[in-house]
Structure formats: structure tokens, C-alpha cells
Amino acid sequence: MSKLVFANKISDLVKSSKSLYQHASVVLLGSLPNRCQLCQHRIEQLDYQQLFPRQVLSGICQACLAASLYQHEVCLGCGCSIPQLQAYCGKCLKHTPMLVIAPCSYHQGLGPLIAAIKYQQQCAPLNAITQQLAIRVSQLIEHKLIRAPQVLIPVPLHPNRLRQRGFNQAWLIAHRLSKLLNIPIDDTCLTRVVDTVPQAELSGKQRRENCHNAFQLSKAVSYQRVALIDDVVTTGTTVDEIARLFSQQFTYVQTWCLARAEAPGLLD
């Protein structure tokens, strides 16, 4: 037997073993106790693995997930309800704000789960919600309402906050999106240089002051298009501050997040 034939057989054996291992992992995970964090019912896989092969739905059942997603189109600028799929509402067309893409509203079901990911390390539903974000992004790209970015950039934490929390939820989201959409991550070009207080505790004016000059680019960037990745966008203060830095490098910025916390009344 030649060395080439032997090497090919070994390679096939490794691939086969890896496939069997992945299949066994899915079967095992699917058999473990797995309840929805919203309705507390057991999560049934049903046709989920047909949509996402070798993935186990966890943390949220399909019924609660479907009910929590946007049931109508929303403006990618302000987040208000609009009658058809398009980028902006009439008001936002006048000044074309930064695009913010999310699969759902923070206020309509998934807010507690997304908050628990950040503050309680309850990451079970992270994959399922990120997959819905990837589907939303793919839909908008297919309809030519957005252009695919060249790179994903997770909103960074200050080193002090990272040590305290133990992980950056934005990086986890970006890592999963990178695999789903085949877009690379760059987590080296942007740093947080000010250890700001949590934005959730602040008013709109305080948020702007809190984030002013809180970030810096650690190197010159050559990207024409980037997507900032975060868990939630509320007033947009954080991503606007980062976008200002990239605009100085003539880089187009859009934001992708798990949920958008719109201003009251926009979805009525």
C-alpha cells in the first residue's frame, strides 16, 4: 500500500470518527433534561435539526422562540413597524441612520433570556437566538437591503469588566455568527479604554457622556464594510461612538444584535 493511499484511508477514518462523535453528541444532548426558560415545558427537537443539522435546541422551545420574533417588518433605522420589507421608514429615509439588524424586540419576550446570558451566565438559549439573527441577516442580504460585511467586530469589554464577568457575550455571538455565515472575526482592532459604568443604569444623556471616547482603534483598518456585534441595542450610543471611529477610516458600519430595545410605542 502506497503512503498516499494509507494517508487517505487514515483521513477518511478520522472524518468518519468525527462524524460519529458529532452524531452521538447530538443524540446525548437531545436526551438530557432540557426545559424552556420561558414556559418551563420540555423542549422537543421536532424538525429543528433539519434546519440546523447536528444542533440541539436548548434554553427556549420552538413555540416561545417563534412567538418572540418580529411578527412584522421593522425599520432598520429607528425600529418602528413598517408595512413591507425595506431598509428605512419614511422618516429615517431623510437622514439614513446606521442600520441595526435584530431578529426580535427586547421588550416582546426574549429580554429576560438575553439579560440572563450577560448577567447570570445562562447561555443555553444563545445559539438559538443567534441562529435567528443569522437568518435575518441572510434574508436582508438576499433582498439586497444590506451588503455582507467583510468582518465581524464584537463590541469589546474593558479588561476589568472582562475579568469580572469571565466572558464577553458579544464575542460569543460573533463567534457563532462567523461559523453560520462564514464571515471572519476581528477582535483585535477595537479596544475599550475606559471602564464605563453599565449603560442600563443611565439616561440617554448620561449614556452619551459615559461612552464618549471610551473606545479606540488599536490599528489602522483597511475594511470597507464591518458589522459590529452586540447583544442588545437600546439608544445606540455605544455603537454610534464606535462607528464614529470607523468613519474616520472611511469604513461603513452596520450593527447586528440579538434584540433591539426600541423606544416606547414604536411597535404599537
Q: Which residue has the higher pLDDT, 20 or 81?
A: 81
Mean residue pLDDT of the chain comes to 84
Per-residue model confidence (pLDDT) at position 245: 93
pLDDT given at position 46: 72
Contact criterion met (CB below 8 Å) for 214 and 192: yes
Rounded to two decimals, the pTM is 0.82
pLDDT digits (tens, 9 = 90+) for 16-54: 444 433 433 334 334 445 889 999 999 888 777 677 777
Q: Which residue has the cell 464577568?
A: 165
Across 3-12, 43-52, 64-73, 257-266, the highest mean pLDDT is recorded for 64-73
Asked if residue 160 has pLDDT above 80, the reply is yes
The three cell numbers of residue 130 are 443567534
Which residue do the cell numbers 477610516 mark? 249
Q: Is the pLDDT reported for residue 8 higher than 70? A: no
Q: What pLDDT is attached to residue 30? A: 43
Task: Using alpha carbons, list the distances in angstroms from residue 183 to 54, 128, 167, 171, 189.
Answer: 20, 19, 21, 14, 16
- CATH number for the 71-260 domain, one of 2.60.40, 3.40.50, 3.30.70, 3.30.450? 3.40.50
Where along the chain do its domains lie? 1-68, 71-260
Helix (H) or strand (E) holding 239: helix 237-247
Q: How far apart are CA 119 and CA 115, in angstroms?
A: 6
Q: Are 141 and 148 in contact (CB under 8 A)?
A: yes
pLDDT-derived band at 213, boundaries 50, 70, 90: confident
Determine the pLDDT at residue 205.
52
What is the Cα–Cα distance from 90 to 194, expressed in whole angstroms? Answer: 37
Structure-model confidence comparison of residues 174 and 214, the more confident one: 174
